[in-house]
Amino acid sequence: MKSMVMIAYNFPPDGSAGVYRPLRFLRHLPGSGWHPTVVAADNRHQGRYDPGLLSLVSDQVEVIRIPGQDVWQSIRGWQARRSQRRDSGGGTEKRSKNLEAPSPSMRSYLRRFLSKAEGWYYHPDGAMTWIKPAVKATVKVCQRTSAKVIWVTGGPWSSFVVARKASSQTGIPYVLDFRDSWTLAGSPFYNDRPEWIKRRDRRLLFQLFKEAQAVTFRYHSEAECYWRAYPGSLDPSRIHIIPNGFDGTIEEYSATVSSQNKCMVLYAGTITPYRYDTLLQGLSLLKKSCPALARHLQLLFVGDGIDELARAASTLDVSDIVKVQSTVSYAEVCRLQEEASALLLLGLIPMKGYELCGSKVFSYLKAGRPIIGVVPQDEMKNVLHQVGVETIADIDSPSEIASVFRQVLEAWQKNMLSSLLPDRNACKIYSAERQTMALVVALEGEPPVEAFVPGSVEIPHSLRGGIGGKGWL
């Protein structure tokens, strides 16, 4: 069994979305002859907490947790959680007078000021202070276990710096894994950084690419973007395409979901960065044009950022269709998916590189349920087409959205939802076993399973003309 170090800042019991990709690999690498030791942040008391995820981690896996070092980031995290509880009605603090709190404009100004200040200070991101202790821990693990390779997933992108520094001190190669498109896609933190700091980020990434044994991207289009943006830093033989996916077998479809009183469509996960305005407009159209059909529809949104959606649903008079629920555990999400008649997928709010974002589609493939895609022309839409999903509506067309929901409801009434299922065999290409095989090739420094051919795909529309060129580096 060959030893390796996995640097995964987010790790169970953290229940954030960034946990699931490294967790899938961790569970399947031993079967391919690799024994991982994990270096993770000790964020058990921050962010989303889901202790049930620890049951998915083998007792044979050593997890080294790096204690939090940044007091300011801890304060900011506490403020965000308090704000979330207050907005959802769960806070216990009372305001006796409006003057006791800053005005909305003042709060907005303060948030903007703090965001810009963080963008100037933290490099390459808010996890900067974990670099030094994480490097020290990684070097010790490499020496103690005789590790053959360091695998690191990002963001946060400080983790990439940890891998590079540990590699420099030990001579052990590192493999970069991209879960997001750093320096390409937009984010609140990255957008607030001045241009000279963004160039510094890009120069850092150029060196990270140059020195890496291998780099894994989720899509050919993402690899093409980086290939064009960082010429001379990436060799095609070191680029591996490994999309997100799912762990375990695809659930069997049960006809009992069609015998329920309501056709329940589930959306599980954070709603904030996703676009739902046209979805609600489409539901309003459906309610007006097919009221007898619409009364059988129930949309359940479970996750963070649901309050604004609930208010928007009320404004459009579709609150009888749309229900919301706060964040639940991974186990509870799985149970809700089993009860759902169909699963809803939304596209991101347009921003730079939005076509490369979104991973919810892969967990939906495992659920074995019809999928309703309300999406733009992005990679999620491409995946839906690849697995034979036909219930897809253009995110800019409320009429198409209403039509797709009508199609699903009519199939539900006829007990024919099974005719809308994704193709099981096509879904299997996104299984964790298949992806782990592709990762092992990267860990061993071999040519990729799926070759990347520069120039074979187009880059997303939102990034055309916005990456590479004069002044990029």
Q: What is the DSSP letter of 56?
A: G
pLDDT of res. 259: 52
Q: What is the pLDDT of residues 266-292, one digit of tens each?
A: 999 889 889 999 999 999 999 999 999
Count of CA atoms in the C-beta half-sphere (13 A) of 316: 22
Cα distance between residue 215 and residue 259, in whole Å: 48
Q: Do domains 2-69+125-246+433-463 and 255-429 have the same CATH topology?
A: yes
Cα distance between residue 29 and residue 57, in whole Å: 12
> Once rounded to an integer, what is the mean pLDDT over residues 166-189?
93
pLDDT reading at 170 higher than 90: yes
Average pLDDT, the chain: 89
Q: In terms of Cα–Cα distance, which of 382, 393, 321, 386 is closest to 357?
A: 382
pLDDT of res. 144: 98
Pair of tokens at residue 16: 């954030």
Q: Rg for the chain (alpha carbons), in Å?
A: 23
Cα distance between residue 439 and residue 162, in whole Å: 20
Largest CA distance in the chain: 68
pLDDT band at 187 (very low <50, low <70, confident <90, very high): confident
Query: Residue 222 corresponds to which amino acid?
Result: E
Q: In terms of Cα–Cα distance, which of 268, 352, 274 is closest to 308?
A: 274
Place of tokens 């479809």: 253
The count of other CB atoms within 10 Å of the CB of residue 197 is: 17
Place of tokens 């690419």: 209
State residue 434 phi and psi, 5-degree precision: -65, -40
> Once rounded to an integer, what is the mean pLDDT over residues 222-233?
97
User: How does DSSP assign 152-175, residue by residue?
Assistant: EEESSTHHHHHHHHHHHHH---EE
Place of tokens 């990762």: 439
The count of other CB atoms within 10 Å of the CB of residue 71 is: 9
Q: What is the pLDDT of residues 60-105, one digit of tens each?
A: 999 999 987 665 555 555 555 455 444 444 433 333 333 344 455 7
- CA 134 to chain centroid, in Å, comes to 23
Cα distance between residue 166 and residue 141, in whole Å: 10
pLDDT of res. 84: 47
Whole-number percent of the chain with pLDDT over 90: 75
> Once rounded to an integer, what is the mean pLDDT over residues 114-120?
68
Count of CA atoms in the C-beta half-sphere (13 A) of 102: 8
pLDDT of res. 215: 98
Q: What is the pLDDT of residues 286-333, one digit of tens each?
A: 999 999 999 999 999 999 888 999 999 999 999 999 999 998 998 999
Q: What share of the chain is helix, strand, coil (3-state, %, to 5)?
A: 50, 15, 35
Topology of domain 255-429, per CATH? Rossmann fold (3.40.50)
> Once rounded to an integer, what is the mean pLDDT over residues 406-435?
96
On whether the CB atoms of residues 392 and 381 are closer than 8 A, the answer is yes
State residue 55 phi and psi, 5-degree precision: -65, -15
Cα distance between residue 387 and residue 431, in whole Å: 13
* Separation of first and last alpha carbons in the chain: 41
Domain boundaries defined on the chain: 2-69+125-246+433-463, 255-429
Show Cβ contacts of residue 196 under 8 Å, excluding neighbours closer than 6 positions.
none
On whether the CB atoms of residues 139 and 169 are closer than 8 A, the answer is yes
Instruction: Return the top range by mean pLDDT from 112-116, 208-212, 328-332.
Output: 208-212
Q: How many residues does the chain have?
A: 473
> Once rounded to an integer, what is the mean pLDDT over residues 351-359?
89
Name which CATH class applies to 2-69+125-246+433-463.
Answer: alpha beta
Strand order across the beta sheet in which 214-217 lies: 63-66, 34-41, 2-7, 149-154, 174-178, 214-217, 239-241
Pair of tokens at residue 102: 């800053």
Whole-angstrom CA distances from 223 to 180, 363, 408 are 12, 23, 35
